[in-house]
Amino acid sequence: MSTLRFKVVEEAYGRKAVAVDIPKDRPSDYFGMYVFNRTQMYRYLDHKTYDALVDAIDNKKSLSRELANNVAKGMKVWAMDNGARHYSHWFHPLTDGTAEKHDGFIEHDGKGGVIEEFDGKLLVQQEPDASSFPNGGIRNTFEARGYSAWDISSPAFIIDHTLCIPTIFIAYTGESLDYKTPLLRALNAVDKAGTAVAQFFDENVKHVISYLGWEQEYFLVDKALYAARPDLVMTGRTLMGHESAKNQQLEDHYFGSIPSRVEAFMLDLEIECHKLGIPAKTRHNEVAPNQFELAPIFEETNLANDHNLLLMSLIAEVANKHNFQVLLHEKPFAGVNGSGKHNNWSLGTDTGAMLFSPGKTPKDNLQFMTFLANVMAAVNKHNGLLKASISSATNEHRLGANEAPPAIISMFLGRQVSEVIEKLISTDDDTINFASKEGLKLKNVTQIPELLVDNTDRNRTSPFAFTGNRFEFRAIGSSANCASAMIALNAVVADQLFSFKANVDAKIAAGEIKEKAIIEEVRKLFIENQQIHFDGNGYSDEWKEEAARRGLDCEASVPKIFDAYTTPESIDLFKRIGVFTEVELVARNEVKWEIYAKKLQIESRVLGDLAMNHVIPVATRYQSLLLDNVMKIKEIFGSDDDQMAEQEKETIRRIASHMVAIKEGVIKMVNDRKSANVLESEREKAIAYHDIIKPDMDNIRYHIDKLELMVDNEMWPLPKYRELLFIR
Ligand code: ADP
Ligand code: MG
């Protein structure tokens, strides 16, 4: 085993950067070449069809069957011109990732040959078997029908010779079984509510658009080393492993130079992203060794989320070509930073206004403060729900650990905005002023041009931070479907905006001047929702106490955090704005608890297996070597040198005590699992896994990690952190 381990490590380090085939063209030449975007639609559809489709997309209309047939005709020709042989509805079930079922374009031609067929019916709607996807009891297997239906707002694309059509996925009875359906509903709600409020400031506004710019963090490990770690393969994270002597203490990885092997991979990935229309822009090292980030230019939220899901499968494929395994898990390694996926979120109007940007005129500033106050109120009222929307078995390891926000939602505003709010609440003065970017002159370095300093400071410890023209929702996990957070956030903000609009309208109806009515409501919201505002250090223990005093949701157990979805307030809210019915909410929580328990169950089984079949045998072998040694010492030195034998015996005792603890720990864990598995309620089961089996696993791991430091390095059966974490 030991030789294998070292061969694997050697091979990994010996590998050269893989050369990529860099197209000679510029990104603008191949950007979107596999996307049925408007340029391609224009080329492949007759003009009447093109106009009708664009009108349907822009104005959220539904397609007639005739129009769908015409679109399908053009899309098929485009897809085949670009090498596609199959088509697939591409949807986002309640599991991690995406689902697709491929069908060939071919049909019998009646003369013994085939023709390529693809009509509007196949484009618009299909019937995947819904019972094979998580559904929380909505689907009974005897009526397993589910429908996938084309989402015209997200363009079709080609991957590996398959035309992929983004679709929603719903049950026969109409309930959503995916992330996209409620996301589209939430985006429609925030459009409607946002438009109503934005029209206070500009009557020409017809739509409010929600924007998302995600930042995807990930780890890379060498594929060969990965293959030698069953825990990484089966669960996506290391279930054991002592910290490496050097990890991130020197802070030398963040923004450090990118190893050439990794850079070759990144370049390849960016090219593939661009071909699929994903506007990948930023890349850098992250804080932990082997941790990196990719961020695109922000886009409309539904499209941005499709692109993130696409990226998550693309990144694994491209990494594979470069002999890397990508880890999207939130916490693949204990003791170093985990991976998040910051969701930069904003609202803008179809007239081009960005609603979270302070403006130059008093009217712009009032509009900014109006949307800010509403976001603040929404986040405050529903802080528990927002936390639920980012919670999962995997993200639970990250929140509150190294360099990640705690499991409490608060909102950072920065000095300047805070001062403006402070003035608004403590005085009757209605004027709102923002200094624009200030110049910063550097002393004694004349060769550097004047710098422009942003008027918002940065706070990396806040889960929800205002960053000058947008909010950065930082608590989202790296493996998550952003839709979960985006559904909750856009929904709560939509609901709040509806109520704001109603309150202002009531005041206007009672004779108040519009601006006065707005500012009064804004002031009220700021006063009532101050408790969510926190600009201090979110990682400190004092904040946890303070947050509890303020009445913010401080629940840290994920299975219980999910309860926030089914409180009467949440059920009412989602019903009111038409995002989820109660049936959907209840079913989705069942799925969440089930997935939570299953993930921990798998981890616990893998850990038990590794402990008993890998670690204990090796430790026993090492122990017997030491025992042999003691016997030989006694034989040669007799009782002359007791100290020598005593030291050896002490080591043997310590090894033995860890081995006993591991064996007992595994027996207890297996029994605890048995008791948990028979619990009828998914919620109770998930809670048992959280409260009992998780600590069981931590205890076993503790003893294994101790043994790792004692047992002969040559014998240790798994690649260690120091081998996994440093790519050269
Ligand atoms: P950071 O410094 O926080 O790491 P990055 O440059 O990595 O920032 O990512 C910032 C992300 O925020 C990008 O995806 C960017 O396009 C996005 N973004 C910028 N402005 C907006 C906006 N108004 N709305 C939504 N996202 C935005
Ligand atoms: Mg970034």
Q: Considering every ligand atom, which ligand is closest to the CA of 343?
A: 1
pLDDT at 318: 95
Q: Whose CA is nearest to atom 14 of ligand 1?
A: 213
User: Is the confidence at residue 687, as pLDDT, over 90?
Assistant: yes
The average confidence (pLDDT) of the chain is: 89
Question: Could you tell which of 218, 291, 298, 469 is best to mutate to test the pocket of ligand 1, judged by most ligand atoms within 8 Å of the CB?
Answer: 298
Q: What is the mean pLDDT of residues 274-295?
A: 90
SS3 103: strand
**Centroid of ligand 2 to alpha carbon of 215 (angstroms):** 6
pLDDT of residue 189: 97
Q: In the predicted model, what is the mean pLDDT of residues 674-681?
A: 97
Higher pLDDT, residue 475 or 119? 475
Q: Which of 19, 20, 53 is nearest to 36 (CA)?
A: 53
> Distances in Å between the alpha carbon of 182 and those of 2, 312, 348, 489?
51, 21, 20, 12
pLDDT of residue 16: 43
Q: What is the pLDDT of residue 365?
A: 87
Instruction: Decide: 578 and 185 in contact? Cβ < 8 Å.
Output: yes
Mean pLDDT of 396-407: 78
- Name every protein residue with a CB atom under 6 angstroms from any ligand 1 atom: 211, 213, 215, 282, 295-298, 344-346, 354, 469-470
Please give the radius of gyration of the chain, using alpha carbons only, rounded to the nearest integer: 29
Cα 372 to middle of ligand 1, angstroms: 18
Strands 99-104 and 86-91: antiparallel
- Residue 528 has a pLDDT of 97
Average of per-residue pLDDT across 129-134: 72
**Nearest to 569, CA basis, from 559, 558, 582, 560:** 582
Across 194-198, average pLDDT: 98
Task: Quote the pTM value.
Answer: 0.93
Q: Considering every ligand atom, which ligand is closest to the CA of 347?
A: 1
How far, in Å, is the centroid of ligand 1 from the Cα of 467?
9
**Residue nearest atom 4 in ligand 1 by C-alpha distance:** 215
Q: Which residue has the higher pLDDT, 284 or 313?
A: 313
Which residue's C-alpha comes closest to atom 6 of ligand 1? 282
What are 25's two structure tokens? Answer: 């063209």
Residue 280 CA: which ligand is closest? 1
Which pLDDT value is given to residue 360? 78
Task: Judge whether residue 560 has pLDDT over 80.
Answer: yes
When pLDDT is averaged across residues 280-292 and rounded to a whole number, the result is 86
Identify residue 315 by its one-letter amino acid code: I
Task: Tell me the CA–centroid distance for residue 345 and ligand 1, in Å.
Answer: 8
CA of 475 to the centre of ligand 2 (A): 14
Q: Closest ligand 1 atom, CA of 296?
A: 14
Q: Which of 255, 284, 344, 347 to mutate to test the pocket of ligand 1 (most atoms within 8 A of CB)?
A: 344
Residue 17 pLDDT class (50, 70, 90 cuts): very low
User: Which element (helix H / strand E) includes 452?
Assistant: strand 451-453
For residues 723 and 299, the model is more confident at 299
Per-residue pLDDT tens digits for 606-640: 999 999 999 999 999 999 999 999 988 888 887 66
Please check whether residue 468 is in contact with residue 456, taking contact to mean a CB–CB distance below 8 angstroms: yes
- Ligand 1 atom at minimum distance from 469 CA: 23
Q: Is the pLDDT confidence value at 442 over 90?
A: no
Burial class (CB in 10 A: 0-12, 13-18, 19+), 661: middle
Segment 517-544 shows an average pLDDT of 93
Number of H helices, E strands in the chain: 25, 19
Stretch 283-289: mean pLDDT: 81
Residue nearest to atom 1 of ligand 1 (CA): 215
Distance CA 271, CA 75 (A): 24
Please give the average per-residue pLDDT across 692-697, as a whole number.
98
Percent with pLDDT over 90 in the chain: 67
Q: How far, in Å, CA of 55 to CA of 59, rounded? A: 6
More confident residue, 40 or 11: 40
Residue 19's pLDDT is what?
47
153-183 per-position pLDDT tens digit: 999 999 989 999 999 998 888 889 999 999 9
pLDDT exceeds 60 at position 596: yes
The torsion angles phi and psi of 639, rounded to 5 degrees, stand at: -95, 10
Q: Which CA distances in Å does 40 have to 35, 79, 156, 318? A: 8, 10, 11, 26
How far is the C-alpha of 43 from the C-alpha of 78, rounded, in Å? 9
Give the side-chain half-sphere CA count within 13 A for 555: 18
User: Atom 24 in ligand 1: which residue has the minimum CA distance?
Assistant: 346
Q: Mean pLDDT highest for which of 3-7, 412-416, 442-446?
A: 412-416
Separation of CA 301 and ligand 2 centre (Å): 18
Secondary structure class of 241 (helix, strand, coil): coil
Q: Determine the straight-line distance between the first and last CA of the chain, rounded to whole angstroms.
A: 24
Banded pLDDT at 51 (limits 50, 70, 90) = very high
Phi and psi, residue 467, nearest 5°:
-125, 40
Q: Which ligand is nearest to the CA of 486?
A: 1
The full 3-state SS of 107-172, as one line of letters, equals EECCCCCEEECCCHHHHHEECCEHHHCCCCCCCCHHHCEEEEEECCCCCCEEECCEEEEEEEEEEC
The pLDDT of 501-507, averaged and rounded, is 98
Nearest Cα neighbor of 209 from 309, 101, 348, 66 is 348
pLDDT of the residue at 3: 47
pLDDT band at 10 (very low <50, low <70, confident <90, very high): very low
Name the residue with the closest Cα to ligand 1, atom 8: 215
- For residue 15, the model assigns a pLDDT of 46
CA 231 – CA 51 distance, rounded (Å): 53
What is d(CA 232, CA 240) in angstroms, rounded to the nearest whole number?
10
74-99 residue pLDDT tens: 999 999 999 999 999 999 998 878 88
Q: Ligand 1 atom closest to Cα of 345?
A: 25
The Cβ of residue 11 has, within 10 Å, a number of other Cβ atoms equal to: 14
Burial profile 251-285: b = 16 or more Cβ within 10 angstroms, e = fewer: eebeeeebbebbebbbebbbbbbbbbbbbbeebeb
Ligand 2 center to 282 CA (angstroms): 7
Q: What's the angle, vertex CA 667, arms to CA 683 and CA 685, rounded to 5? A: 5
Residue 313 banded pLDDT, cuts 50, 70, 90: very high
- The per-residue pLDDT for 433 is 72
Angle 367-380-94 from CA coordinates, rounded to 5°? 105
